Amino acid sequence: MARLEVMVHESVHVSTTITCPAGDVYEYASNPRNLSSWAAGLAHHDAQLVDGNWVVESPMGRVVVAFAPANDFGVLDHDVTLPAGETVRNPVRVIPNGDGCDVVFSVRRRAGMSEQDFAADIDAVRRDLAALRALLEH
């Protein structure tokens, strides 16, 4: 029996608890127009709808962001297509927690990514989730 080659990426789950209803957090965070207000690791300026795609200026250059279809499960997954054409899938969940919620972002180490770059990605996601919490807990 032939053995299939399996590729698994190292993941770190970054989370925060937000004292705001899960539906409100999901609605805000899933709107590409709000990215620049909380996701500085992804969007420096407001997202623009260009030919049916959400485009943002990011620290990596101009990228395309595509969110999972709207859903009632808090799935906020989004694909980011980098300037070189590579697409990075970002799993994110908004999970009800009493009157608030937890937001969990799985940061995945891409092939060839240095330990330093992976740590920088994790730190950027921590800052982004802290910004989201600060915005929504006003």
CATH code, domain with 22: 3.30.530.20
Torsions phi, psi for 131 (to 5 deg): -65, -40
Q: Could you tell me the sign of the dihedral formed by the alpha carbons of 83, 89, 92, 93, in that order?
A: positive
Whether residue 70 lies inside any domain: the answer is: yes
* pLDDT band with cut points at 50, 70 and 90 for residue 61: confident
125 domain residue, yes or no:
yes
What confidence tens digit (pLDDT) does each residue in 27-36 have?
A: 999 999 999 9
Task: Report yes or no on 27 lying in a domain.
Answer: yes
pLDDT of residue 1: 64
In this predicted structure, the answer to whether residue 114 has a pLDDT above a threshold of 70 is yes
What is the reported pLDDT for 58?
Answer: 86
Give the CA dihedral 68, 130, 119, 104, nearest 10 degrees: -40
Residues 6+ apart with CB under 8 A from 23: none
1 in any annotated domain: no
Q: Is 132 exposed, middle or buried (0-12, 13-18, 19+ CB in 10 A)?
A: buried
Q: Which domain holds residue 130?
A: 11-136
- Calpha distance 115→32 (Å, rounded): 29
Q: Is residue 3 part of a domain?
A: no
Could you tell me if residue 5 is inside a domain?
no
Please report whether residue 44 resides in a domain.
yes
pLDDT category at 43 given cuts 50, 70, 90 is confident
The overall average pLDDT reported for the chain is 93
Share of the chain above pLDDT 70, in %: 96
Instruction: Please give the Cα distance from 101 to 87 (Å, whole number).
Output: 28
CA–CA distance, 64 with 66 (Å, rounded to integer): 7
How many structural domains is the chain composed of? 1
Banded model confidence at residue 2, pLDDT cuts 50, 70, 90? low
**Residue 92, token pair as written in the block:** 């994110």
Q: Is residue 6 part of a domain?
A: no
